[in-house]
Amino acid sequence: MNDLDGASNPAIETKLWLAQRISAVILALMVFVHLGTIMYAVRDGLTAAEIIDRVGGHLGWALFYGLFVAALAVHAPIGIRAILAEITALPRKRIDLLCFMAAVLIAYLGYRVVRDFYALGSIA
């Protein structure tokens, strides 16, 4: 689809591909740590207090999940962009706009979670 939708830009497309691959490497490592922590943390059951106790106010975890969110905000929209271009007849510019909005939304929602968990440390 989108045959007559203008020539794509080789440099931009290649940079997006590269950005998606690099963010994939970051995510692969981080998901490993993330899942490992979950498996370790739930060994005696799972409580909100325990999570806040571990993550709240901890700068290391805030930076870790900050990078996690950033990698996700780069990785996912580029993939969605490719899928939309393949399975819908939407114009290229519309797809780019939708995916940019998805990136901003993922980054914003993720940032809020990281910020709020960090802030919870001062309450606990």
Shortest Å, Cβ 101 to another protein = 19
For residue 7, give both structure tokens.
């020539």
Shortest Å, Cβ 81 to another protein = 9
Contact segment (CB under 8 A) with another protein among 28-36, 43-51, 80-88, 106-114 equals: 80-88
Interaction between residue 91 and another protein (CB under 8 A): no
Interaction between residue 2 and another protein (CB under 8 A): yes
Q: Which residue, among 113, 19, 118, 115, has the nearest Cα to 71 in the 3D structure?
A: 19
Please identify which residue in 45, 60, 86, 89 interacts with another protein, judged by CB under 8 A.
86
Interaction between residue 82 and another protein (CB under 8 A): yes
- 75 within 8 A of 30, measured Cβ to Cβ: no
2's enclosing H/E stretch is none
Q: How would you class 74 by CB atoms within 10 Å of its CB: exposed for 0-12, middle for 13-18, buried for 19 or more?
A: buried
- Contacting positions for another protein (CB under 8 A): 1-3, 7-11, 13-18, 21, 82, 85-87
